[in-house]
Structure 1
Amino acid sequence: MSQSSLFSSGSQLAPFVISSGLLRLSWNAIISLETVVNSKQGVRLSYKVHSVPFHGKDLKIIVFETQDHDVQVDLISSYDLNKENFVDFEFLCTQRNPLFSVNKTVFSLLHENHQILVQLKDEIISSTQLIVTGSGLAGSVASLFTIYLLDTIGSGKNRPLCITFGAFLIGDKKLQESISRSSTWNSCFLNVVSHKDPLPTLFITNKTTSYMPFGTFLLVSDEGSTSSENSEFILELLVAISSTHVQNQGFQSAEYGNIVESLFRKVICKDLTPQAGNINLSDSLLASISLQLLALGLTPLIQDTNILKKMRIQEVKFIMDKRTLFDPSRKLNVLKKDMAQLEWYKKKTKNQGIGYYDSFRNMYSHFDQDVIGFQKNLTKYWEQMVEEAEMKPQKEGSQFRTRWLYAGTNYRRMVEPLVIAEYYRDKGQDYVNKERSIHFKKLEEWLNEGNQKTRDSLNKTSKHNVESILTLDSCFWAHVEEALIACKEFKNEEAKNKLDKFENYVYNLLKNYAVSPEIFLPKSSYMSWWNKYKAIKGSSYDSTLASFMAKSENYKEYAEGTFDFLSVQ
């Protein structure tokens, strides 16, 4: 699809949001006392809980109110929060994004009222339909409180919806990135901003601001409305709106009630589209951006080609990023075909008496060359999947990892031996410490960190299925290669110790039926190691592994699951 056919749907989505009726319910809850279930007065902050019927269910609306309307521009970092032993937002941190900052005034209100807000959280934790709302500074507190909720209820069906009216921005770009890592979390925030309201743009009077919006913004005016979840695009609109506030200082927050009612009537009456005038329709994206500017009363900007060009670039990037967003479910189904190809390759090489590790290491046939493509496809996918999971906030990242643990473990055990084969084919040494990829380490780490039931399921082996298993330790062949290198340096004391450890390691794997019987194929690197090791040790050498390896029929019994390891104790 060409860029000229792209379209920004903000002007069409805004009426849909308005028609839901949630804005009216939220605003009415802010100004009404009739449906209050309970209220709580704190330090410069109070809240009310409303119970409202909505689509046949009980909808709870939490309304925040502040007695202090003075807000400062200062930010406080999550590092400083932790130093004060405030760890409620620590779940947002990731290895890629360990720090973020929030507005100090808004945080202070939350921190000073922490005890009553913990009680509130406990009260509404099971609410299946929940709206958190507020106007102005109270709306900013509502946003921060909603973030606080996400750690426990933010990723399920009962996640809250925060609707703010004329709220200040509450954090920097790092906070925006932390929230936006999860599309579920980002969708929990709807910010209503009037083009006449100077408060939401208080911190962004220029383009060098430290603040960054997140969530969905519904920007409204007398002419119409538009919506977007593109943070860069929203920031550009807010900067443009801030330049018009000199003549709008008389705006009162109560006017949001009139705006909401007016927009709702327009939607019901199907008065959806502002007059397009002489907007150039040859570029659908530029036309749709122009309609959004027109809806906000920013008509002069339509003639500013530099601003339009910048907004267009931002929207193109946002649209393209969403199209190429990593979709693990869809991609994994495609990659099952590559895993099936490797399974076929494994069986074929086994029939040739060599095993897939050594066949790939030596590149005996064109089939070995074909495997390179399957390996690269799978590795690219899992590297990206691991990176995606690491970038997610801790709790959701953990759930994401658990979901893909089975497929990731099978991939690691199947594909890492191929990576090891390439490495040692190119004369590499000490793969585990020098070359092993982060994504393999993470996949193994997730398995070890998973619950006991999952670990047992993935590590369970049986005498009855040992013939078909993948060796549980995906670095097994790296240890074999290091043992082969140690055989060449046998006079070295360190090499001797390494070989002793390897011998014990192999026998423990065998005893637990945790290694594939492929290692006993005549042309395998393992058998090459054993023959060299046996020659070094001499014919009189005796050990549990030596006793097992002494008879070739033991290999067959192992593959059939009938070998009695007690006989060689």
Structure 2
Amino acid sequence: MTITQSFSCEPEIKSLLISSNLLPKIWTFVISSRDDEGFDLYTGNGLSWKVDVQSSVTIVAFEVKPSFYLDQRMVSSAHLNDNNFHRFQFLLSKKFPVFSLNRSLVALLYENLKMLDDLQISLSSPRLIITGLGIGGSIASLFTLSLLDETNLRNKRPLCCITFGSPLVGDKRLQEAISRSSTFNSCFLHVVSHKDPVPRRLNPHTKAYMPFGTFFFCSHINFTCFENPESVLEILVSLINDQNQGFQPIDYGSILQNIFRAVICKDFSQRRQLWAADLQQEQYQKIDIKSLVTNLEKLENEFLYEKRIFDPLKKLSDIKVNMSKVEWYKRHSECQGIGYYDSFKMGISTTDLDVVHCLVNIRNYWKDMVKEADMMPYREAVTFRARWLYGGTNYMRMVEPLDIAEYYRKGGKDYMANGRSTHYKVLEEWLKEDKRNKPSFTSKKNVKLILSYDSCFWAHVEEALLLCQQLENVQSSKEVVEEAIRKLREFEEYVYGSLKKYEVSPEIFLSESSYMKWWKQYKEISCKPELASFMSNPNHYDQYTKGYYDFP
């Protein structure tokens, strides 16, 4: 029975093991006694930790008193926040606004908070490893999470948390919050022996607790790795089903040394024997190994399909090509005297059809981008948004008008309420948030090549055209007419205000544009002198385009 390459992390683990024999070294430090020299020991309330400062790395190992009682109950991040315990609030996101942690573990942290804060301040090494055995490893995980808060990463030091036989610490929402970060999940490596019952102390049967990070499952000579939390859970639940192993201490040192020797003495490419095969040779009569492997294969294939971590840089070049095609289409349409909005709305030429494929690719890219940002922890999301704000704004102003054109071509009404995609609304919120943090000003400028600042400008034009139709309809009631006139005047003020700020693309003045069709109808109905004065002379359009028209 062999493990497939598709869900083996063995090459990475081989590098970790062979390059420095790291795991056995860390284990040796974890179990070192108080009589050993070379490290500093600190004792808190029910918790102790030792710090080994070497020339290249600092190791912090946590240990919890054997009398500590690990409660199954959880506490929500909202409750912690209400009680002024904010250590993990940075993990929250719009998608995951709350998560839960083990109640007794958090209580232990809180009881030692002052000393742990002092420990955080003292850790200045450029390389840092946090570790622990059993419940000490669970505390190590929570302490590492607190260090990942950007406000504590003054030197941007890399962090690594390596635990041995440790129980899980939080629920699925915590796992998802950590997994969605580009860096957080990779900080955690959990070493678990197939004979160790402690990692299953918080019963995964209920799925109340979920694993995060990479799990290194090991037996005497074999090992395998899983990053997929569902696969890890499948293994933990399978081991719970068999109670023959008892509660005996596990010597991770001998296990790791055996694996280390086996790996360096044999051709690694031939060492693909599934770790689970060892279970079949021992006291695990209740475990169906074949069924376990089948389930793991299925879970890993699903994980690999769903994972496909969105990397905006990988597709950026293709998106730039597609955007350049849309920009060419815009210029080409303007040369035809109609503008790209109205050209796409009619959709009668081959160029109108050719641009559709580009729009699908660009739209899907930015939908994924917005989705990714929503799932990131707040602080990481803020950095992400700031980095991609310009591209998102340009996309929204270029592409959304074409979505509006398609919507009204199909007979839609009230795009803002019924047709607008959520990702446009999110991008607009990014832009508004950015504007709130910057001073606003208006200046005259050449606007020949700009995109209208309001990506929904054409939706407002379409609604104004529909209102004009209501006024022309002799069957419209007095109330309908009065409401239509009121809304048309609001639109007139909106247009004039946008023009005064030089925020509207001059393509609206093309003779066949929907805006000019609206103006021809509206000027016969009701119009204030300010907009009428500007629109009455075509020379004003050219002056506006070049940025020297003086609005009263």
Q: Same fold (TM over 0.5)?
A: yes
Does residue 1:485 correspond to 2:466, yes or no? Answer: yes
Equivalent position of 1:188 in the other structure? 187
**CA distance in 2: counterparts of 1:241 and 1:273, whole angstroms:** 28
**Alpha-carbon deviation of 1:376?**
1.9
Does residue 1:334 correspond to 2:318, yes or no? Answer: yes
Does residue 1:21 correspond to 2:10, yes or no? Answer: no
**Alpha-carbon deviation of 1:319?**
2.8
Does residue 1:370 correspond to 2:354, yes or no? Answer: yes
Q: Which amino acid aligns with 2:361?
A: N
Equivalent position of 1:308 in the other structure? 293
Does residue 1:463 correspond to 2:445, yes or no? Answer: yes
Does residue 1:394 correspond to 2:378, yes or no? Answer: yes
Change (3 A) 1:79 1:562: closer
Equivalent position of 2:38 in the other structure? 35
* 1:61 partner SS: strand
Q: Which amino acid aligns with 1:545?
A: L
**Alpha-carbon deviation of 1:298?**
5.6
**CA distance in 1: counterparts of 2:8 and 2:439, whole angstroms:** 46
Query: RMSD value over aligned CA atoms?
Result: 2.9
Unaligned runs of 5+ in 2: 472-477
**CA distance in 1: counterparts of 2:432 and 2:538, whole angstroms:** 35
Change (3 A) 1:203 1:415: same
Q: Give 1:143's match in structure 2, choosing from 126, 132, 141.
A: 141
**CA distance in 2: counterparts of 1:192 and 1:434, whole angstroms:** 51
Q: Give 1:215's match in structure 2, choosing from 213, 216, 219.
A: 213
**CA distance in 1: counterparts of 2:509 and 2:431, whole angstroms:** 28
**CA distance in 2: counterparts of 1:16 and 1:467, whole angstroms:** 57
**Alpha-carbon deviation of 1:310?**
1.3
* 2:53 partner SS: strand
Asked whether the 8 Å contact 1:480–1:526 carries over to 2, the reply is yes
Equivalent position of 1:227 in the other structure? 225
Q: Which amino acid aligns with 2:515?
A: Y
**Alpha-carbon deviation of 1:397?**
2.1
Deviations 1:525-567 (A, max 9, x none): 1111111111113xxx6522221112111111111223233xx
Deviations 1:403-439 (A, max 9, x none): 2211111110011111111222233222212322110
**CA distance in 2: counterparts of 1:470 and 1:63, whole angstroms:** 57
Change (3 A) 1:546 1:273: closer
**Alpha-carbon deviation of 1:453?**
8.0
* 2:6 partner SS: coil
Equivalent position of 1:293 in the other structure? 276
Equivalent position of 1:285 in the other structure? none
* 1:468 partner SS: coil
Deviations 1:175-217 (A, max 9, x none): 222211124211110111122222112234x744422211111
Asked whether the 8 Å contact 1:154–1:185 carries over to 2, the reply is no
**Alpha-carbon deviation of 1:362?**
1.8
Does residue 1:558 correspond to 2:539, yes or no? Answer: no
Equivalent position of 1:472 in the other structure? 453
Q: Which amino acid aligns with 1:463?
A: K
Q: Which amino acid aligns with 1:182?
A: S
**CA distance in 2: counterparts of 1:165 and 1:291, whole angstroms:** 21
* 2:107 partner SS: helix
Asked whether the 8 Å contact 1:219–1:296 carries over to 2, the reply is no
- Give the structure-2-normalised TM-score: 0.88
**CA distance in 2: counterparts of 1:449 and 1:121, whole angstroms:** 33
**CA distance in 1: counterparts of 2:338 and 2:489, whole angstroms:** 26
Equivalent position of 2:51 in the other structure? 49
Change (3 A) 1:345 1:159: same
Change (3 A) 1:363 1:273: closer
Asked whether the 8 Å contact 1:193–1:220 carries over to 2, the reply is yes
Does residue 1:260 correspond to 2:256, yes or no? Answer: yes
Equivalent position of 2:519 in the other structure? 530
Instruction: Pick which of 553-562 and 366-375 moved more.
Output: 366-375
**CA distance in 2: counterparts of 1:343 and 1:118, whole angstroms:** 54
Does residue 1:381 correspond to 2:383, yes or no? Answer: no
Deviations 1:261-309 (A, max 9, x none): 44334444447589x8xxxxxxxxxxx5x52223667677897432222
Change (3 A) 1:497 1:346: same
Asked whether the 8 Å contact 1:467–1:516 carries over to 2, the reply is yes
Asked whether the 8 Å contact 2:221–2:258 carries over to 1, the reply is no
Q: Which amino acid aligns with 2:430?
A: W
**CA distance in 2: counterparts of 1:304 and 1:192, whole angstroms:** 21
Residues paired across the two proteins, number: 534
Does residue 1:440 correspond to 2:387, yes or no? Answer: no
Deviations 1:348-378 (A, max 9, x none): 1101111111111122322212222222222
* 2:370 partner SS: helix
Deviations 1:478-510 (A, max 9, x none): 111222223334563332332222222222222
* 1:187 partner SS: helix
* 1:99 partner SS: coil
Asked whether the 8 Å contact 1:197–1:245 carries over to 2, the reply is no
**Alpha-carbon deviation of 1:520?**
0.5
Equivalent position of 2:501 in the other structure? 512
Q: Which amino acid aligns with 2:69?
A: D
Asked whether the 8 Å contact 1:198–1:248 carries over to 2, the reply is yes
* 2:402 partner SS: helix
**Alpha-carbon deviation of 1:149?**
1.9
Q: Give 1:317's match in structure 2, choosing from 281, 302, 308.
A: 302
Change (3 A) 1:342 1:523: same
Asked whether the 8 Å contact 2:221–2:259 carries over to 1, the reply is no
Q: Which amino acid aligns with 2:532?
A: A
Deviations 1:201-244 (A, max 9, x none): 2234x744422211111122222322221222222222334455
Q: Which amino acid aligns with 2:47?
A: L
Deviations 1:303-328 (A, max 9, x none): 74322221221122223334x43232
Asked whether the 8 Å contact 1:150–1:159 carries over to 2, the reply is no
**CA distance in 1: counterparts of 2:279 and 2:14, whole angstroms:** 14
Deviations 1:52-86 (A, max 9, x none): 123xxxx2222222224331222223343334343
Deviations 1:77-128 (A, max 9, x none): 334333434333223233333332222221111122223323333333x543
Change (3 A) 1:308 1:185: same
**CA distance in 1: counterparts of 2:528 and 2:82, whole angstroms:** 60
**Alpha-carbon deviation of 1:144?**
1.1
**Alpha-carbon deviation of 1:6?**
5.5
Equivalent position of 1:203 in the other structure? 202
Asked whether the 8 Å contact 2:17–2:23 carries over to 1, the reply is yes
Equivalent position of 1:283 in the other structure? none
Instruction: Pick which of 193-202 and 482-491 moved more.
Output: 482-491
Q: Which amino acid aligns with 1:544?
A: E
**1:144-159 to 2 correspondences below 5 Å:** 144-152=142-150, 158-159=157-158
**CA distance in 2: counterparts of 1:197 and 1:25, whole angstroms:** 20
